[in-house]
Structure 1
Amino acid sequence: MEPGTFFLIILLIFTAWVIFIYNHLVQLRENIKSGWLQIDVQLKRRHDLLPRLTETAGTHLHQRQSLFVNTAR
């Protein structure tokens, strides 16, 4: 095998490896972005649910308080 051919084969293998690593890193970056977007959606959902939860808890607290007052009489 000639040295030029050997060097060309090694160069092609190295280039294929670099392309593979680059594509893998791009895929990992996209997975990270997707994960953060899912976290953002869940945080917004929690934020939107909080006022309804406090309203519901306040309603139940008022009902429970009136139950205790009526029971104490």
Structure 2
Amino acid sequence: MAAATRCPAPHHNPTKAADGKRLHGPEPDPETAPIMVRIFTEYLRRTGLYAVAEGLTRDNHPLPRAQASITTGFVGTLVI
């Protein structure tokens, strides 16, 4: 497996960690990763879910599935 797909954390099993094994994680999607960072950043700044969803829709970010706009329900499932 390529190094880019590896999680930076050592393995949680001490024996495997001692052998230098690391946890493997999914590779971030370069198209959606910046949007996810924005959603979590705004949420941690205590921006309401409605305001986060409205901002993403206003800025024409790609929408999940065939929705007309990003909903608070969609944003809520990501952060809660």
Same fold (TM over 0.5): no
Q: TM range, normalised to the smaller chain?
A: under 0.3
Q: Which has the higher strand share?
A: 2
| Pair member with larger Rg | 1
TM-score normalized by structure 2?
0.23
Greater relative contact order, per chain length (Cα 8 Å cut-off, separation 6+): 2
Q: Which has the higher helix share?
A: 1
